[in-house]
């Protein structure tokens, strides 16, 4: 039973850990550092990375310049252009990404 408690996933119906709303344009207006990894469908880690994100919010468009450094020392840059489409919705695109991202 103890192990099954760790197997659940977060759900939007879960109680909030904070009463503060997340504002994408405020959070990413400036410099942010992130760390992550890519896993295959079996959960095996295939690649780890650090990403430096420089964000610029001009009141209409949020531009995110992401500079990735992978564990094997290779690098990649991706520039996202995000547009707010509603109070809590966004659309975005980046060169090399097929289609529009929506969230």
Give the number of other Cβ atoms within 10 Å of residue 80's Cβ. 19
Within-domain flag for 13 = no
CA distances (Å), origin 101, targets 20, 59, 90: 25, 20, 8
Q: Determine the structural domain holding residue 88 and report its residue range.
A: 21-102
Within-domain flag for 14 = no
Q: Give the pTM.
A: 0.76
Within-domain flag for 7 = no
CA-based angle 88:32:46, to the nearest 5?
95
Q: How would residue 3 be classed by pLDDT, with cut points 50, 70 and 90?
A: low
Within-domain flag for 5 = no
Q: Provide the number of structural domains found in the chain.
A: 1
Within-domain flag for 9 = no
Reported as a single tens digit per residue, the pLDDT across 9-55 is 667 778 877 777 889 999 999 999 999 999 999 999 999 999 999 99
**Measured between alpha carbons, how far is 70 from 13 in angstroms, rounded to an integer?**
35
**Measured between alpha carbons, how far is 62 from 92 in angstroms, rounded to an integer?**
9
Within-domain flag for 11 = no
Element (H, E) at 3: helix 2-6
Higher pLDDT, 87 or 82: 82
Look at residue 97 and give its three-state secondary structure: coil
Q: Give residue for tokens 């109070």.
A: 87
Reported as a single tens digit per residue, the pLDDT across 47-69 is 999 999 999 999 999 999 999 99
Given this model, what pLDDT does residue 19 score?
A: 78
Within-domain flag for 91 = yes
């Amino acid at each position: 039973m103890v192990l099954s408690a760790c197997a659940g996933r977060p759900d939007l119906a879960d109680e909030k850990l904070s009463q503060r709303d997340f504002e994408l344009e405020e959070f990413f207006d400036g410099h942010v550092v992130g760390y992550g990894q890519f896993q295959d469908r079996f959960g095996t880690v295939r690649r780890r990375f650090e990403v430096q994100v420089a964000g610029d919010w001009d009141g209409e468009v949020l531009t995110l310049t992401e500079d990735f450094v992978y564990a094997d020392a290779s690098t990649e840059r991706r520039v996202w252009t995000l547009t707010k489409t509603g109070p809590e919705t966004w659309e975005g695109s980046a060169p090399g990404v097929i289609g529009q991202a929506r969230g």
